[in-house]
């Protein structure tokens, strides 16, 4: 039987405000000594009163607007009651009945097709403390307790593990463009849970869903969802029933494992938080935030295509990271003054520059080659001072901090465009490679590439390859070319 998977994603994103959601403690806890960013409010002492962090609300509104949500003029905080050692008050302050952001959407691209994922809601809440297990003991660090958390929930519009992964990548990019979260999954600043069900492909009823937790990398999201879909299909194929349970992803075993069955499903006994007033936002406030939003990835990609004429696939790669897009635009500005076109700049960034940065583990913001430096190099390639292959070597050497011109000069790399010199080399190669010449005359086209290659070698890569090809053809007696450009 054919099955269809249906997936909804919940993301918890930590907002990178200076202070916590309801107190003045620093929200920056990573790497801090345990239990040093704490006070009576975030430790849950009786009688301590919470105060709403304005900046956190501003950040949440930014995210809501970027996700095309309606922003509620009136929302409210509730108490979500459950008992766990990392929750000092015995409840989490969260928005339940009246969330801040509702009914949004985000577009993703999967296998060349654009797809819209609806956002059900995005609401404000506070993070829990962190538990560490040490032998028989459990240790709790309250530094994270009360850090602002935004929960973003999709509609069940996702139908494959790859779509889920693309959605999360897009969401991370948006959060980073807005500057409201590091959205770093490995550090827990963006945490993901997936609700997964499968049903017969021809049925419009959804199957029983399971919830998969502990997904802390894009890779585990993809693997866990694929695993869970296959697990559920196997149960249905065997005539069984999927149970509504919470699963955890075990990265080492590469499988989902049961965490909680339905019998233990929580009843959170939500009720309005009596210590906080409802959150009322004026239209003016919301519109001011909207007006201050940065250009978002989709809009930026469309603009890069329309203003610079680069390929849409390249634009999609460049805008995946705001720093990369910024580098590209700076390089294009410098390049245009040097008659280098934007597509060439894009090719070199997405290709050679990315490869060299990855190899060395350097972020583009710290690239030793500046956008202007790259434009200088490309201008030398464009003018024909050096060929593209030599250009790649020069780019690698530019990581030491020298300019393209200095390297070309010092190493005597300038391309040989002198027809007389190249003719002499071609003549020599023809004389030394009678076999290849004979093969070429006999109709073997690849022999020509070999001969051109020999000239390139004799010139230590400096010959202008187009010119060598022309001269070689001329010297081989103008044998008509097959018309296929094999250079």
Contacts with Zn ion by CB under 5 A lie at 23, 25, 39, 41-42
Residue 36, CA atoms < 13 Å, CB-side half-sphere? 7
Partner in contact with 301, chosen from Mn ion, Zn ion, none, beta carbon below 5 to 8 Å by kind? none
Contact positions with Mn ion (CB under 5 A) in 45-104: none
* Options 14, 78, 151, 397; binder of Mn ion; rule CB under 5 A: 151
Q: Which does 281 bind (CB under 5 to 8 A by kind): Zn ion, Mn ion, none?
A: none
Rounded to whole angstroms, how far apart are CA atoms 339 and 382? 8
Check binding of 193 to Mn ion (CB under 5 A). Answer: no
Which of Mn ion, Zn ion, none does residue 42 bind (CB under 5 to 8 Å by kind)?
A: Zn ion
End-to-end Cα separation, the chain, in angstroms: 51
Minimum distance of Mn ion from residue 215's CB (angstroms) = 15
Residue nearest to Mn ion as judged by C-beta position: 151
Q: For Zn ion, give the closer residue by CB, 25 or 67.
A: 25
Q: Of these partners, Zn ion, Mn ion, none, which one is at the site of residue 468 (CB under 5 to 8 Å by kind)?
A: none
Q: How far is CA 238 from CA 76, 201, 210, 407, in A?
A: 46, 17, 18, 67
- Nearer CB in complex with Zn ion: 119/149: 149
Distance of closest approach, residue 183 Cβ to Zn ion, in angstroms = 23
Q: Minimum Å distance from CB 20 to Zn ion?
A: 5
* Residues near 227 by beta carbon (within 8 Å), at least 6 away in sequence: 249, 254, 255, 256
151 binds, among Mn ion, Zn ion, none (CB under 5 to 8 A by kind): Mn ion
Q: Are 94 and 301 in contact (CB under 8 A)?
A: no
**DSSP strand pairing (74-75 vs 279-280):** antiparallel
User: Closer CB to Mn ion, residue 94 or residue 367?
Assistant: 94
> From the CB of 53, what's the least distance to Mn ion, in Å?
17
Reduced DSSP (H G I as helix, E B as strand, rest coil) percent helix, strand, coil of the chain, to 5:
40, 20, 35
- Of 151 and 376, which has the nearer Cβ to Mn ion? 151
Whole-angstrom distance, CA of residue 389 vs CA of residue 454: 15
Decide which of Mn ion, Zn ion, none touches 23; Cβ closer than 5 to 8 Å per partner kind. Zn ion
Query: Are the CB atoms for 433 and 454 separated by under 8 Å?
Result: yes
What minimum distance in Å lies between the beta carbon of 39 and Zn ion?
3
Nearest distance, CB of residue 94 and Zn ion, angstroms: 17
Candidates 144-152, 281-289, 380-388, 456-464: pick the segment binding Mn ion (CB under 5 A): 144-152
- Residue placing its CB nearer to Mn ion in the complex, 151 or 298: 151
Q: Considering beta carbons, is residue 191 or 469 the nearer one to Mn ion? A: 191
Helix axes 434-441, 419-432, angle to 10 degrees: 90
Burial zone of 423 (CB within 10 Å; 0-12 exposed, 13-18 middle, 19+ buried):
middle
Q: Tell me the C-alpha distance between 143 and 37, whole Å.
A: 5
Which stretch in 149-157, 184-192, 201-209, 381-389 sits in contact with Mn ion by CB under 5 A? 149-157
Half-sphere exposure of 407 (CA within 13 A, CB side): 20
Residue with smaller CB distance to Mn ion, 247 or 422:
247
| Interacting span for Mn ion (CB under 5 A) from 95-103, 148-156, 230-238, 263-271 | 148-156
Which CB, 37 or 256, lies closer to Zn ion? 37
Using CA atoms, how far apart are residues 182 and 175, in angstroms rounded to an integer? 8
CA angle 207, 208, 213 (to 5 degrees): 120
Q: Which residues would be at the binding site for Mn ion (CB under 5 A)?
A: 151
């Amino acid at each position: 039987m054919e099955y269809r998977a249906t997936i909804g994603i919940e993301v918890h994103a930590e907002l990178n405000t200076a202070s916590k959601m309801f107190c003045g403690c620093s929200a920056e806890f990573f790497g801090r000594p345990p239990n040093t960013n704490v006070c009576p409010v975030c430790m849950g002492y009786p009688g301590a009163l919470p105060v709403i962090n304005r900046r956190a609300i501003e950040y949440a509104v930014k995210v809501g607007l970027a996700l095309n949500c309606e922003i509620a003029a009136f929302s409210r905080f509730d108490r979500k009651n459950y008992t766990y050692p990392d929750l000092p008050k015995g409840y989490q302050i969260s928005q339940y009945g009246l969330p801040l952001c509702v009914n949004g959407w985000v577009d993703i691209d999967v296998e060349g097709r654009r797809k819209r994922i609806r956002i059900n809601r995005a609401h404000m809440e506070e993070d829990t403390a962190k538990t560490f297990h040490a032998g028989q003991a459990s240790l709790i660090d309250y530094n994270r307790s009360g850090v602002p958390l935004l929960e973003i929930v999709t509609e069940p519009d996702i139908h494959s593990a790859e779509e889920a992964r693309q959605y999360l990548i897009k969401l991370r990019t948006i959060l980073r463009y807005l500057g409201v979260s590091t959205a770093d999954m490995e550090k827990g600043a963006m945490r993901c849970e997936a609700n997964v069900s499968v049903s017969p492909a021809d049925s419009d009823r959804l199957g029983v869903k399971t919830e998969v937790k502990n997904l802390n990398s894009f890779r585990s999201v993809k693997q866990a969802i694929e695993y869970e879909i296959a697990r559920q299909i196997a149960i249905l194929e065997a005539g069984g029933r999927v149970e509504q349970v919470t699963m955890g992803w075990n990265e080492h075993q590469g499988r989902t494992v049961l965490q909680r069955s339905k019998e233990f499903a929580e009843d959170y006994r939500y009720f309005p938080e009596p210590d906080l007033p409802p959150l009322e936002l004026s239209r003016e406030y919301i519109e001011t935030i909207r007006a201050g939003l940065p250009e978002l990835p989709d809009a930026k990609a469309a603009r890069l295509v329309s203003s610079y004429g680069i390929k849409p696939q390249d634009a999609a790669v460049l805008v995946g990271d705001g720093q990369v897009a910024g580098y590209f635009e700076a390089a294009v500005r410098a390049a245009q003054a040097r008659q280098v076109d934007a597509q060439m700049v894009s090719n070199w960034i997405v290709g050679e520059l990315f490869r060299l940065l990855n190899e060395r583990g350097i972020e583009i913001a710290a690239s030793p080659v500046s956008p202007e430096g790259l434009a200088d190099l490309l201008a030398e390639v464009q003018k024909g001072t050096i060929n593209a292959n030599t250009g790649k070597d020069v780019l690698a050497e530019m990581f030491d901090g020298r300019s393209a011109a200095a390297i070309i000069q010092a190493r005597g790399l300038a391309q040989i465009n002198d027809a007389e010199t190249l003719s002499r080399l071609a003549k020599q190669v023809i004389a030394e490679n009678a076999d290849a010449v004979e093969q070429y005359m006999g109709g073997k086209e690849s022999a020509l590439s070999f001969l051109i290659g020999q000239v390139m070698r004799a010139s230590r890569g400096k010959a202008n390859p187009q010119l060598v090809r022309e001269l070689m053809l001329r010297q081989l007696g103008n044998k008509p070319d097959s018309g296929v450009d094999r250079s």
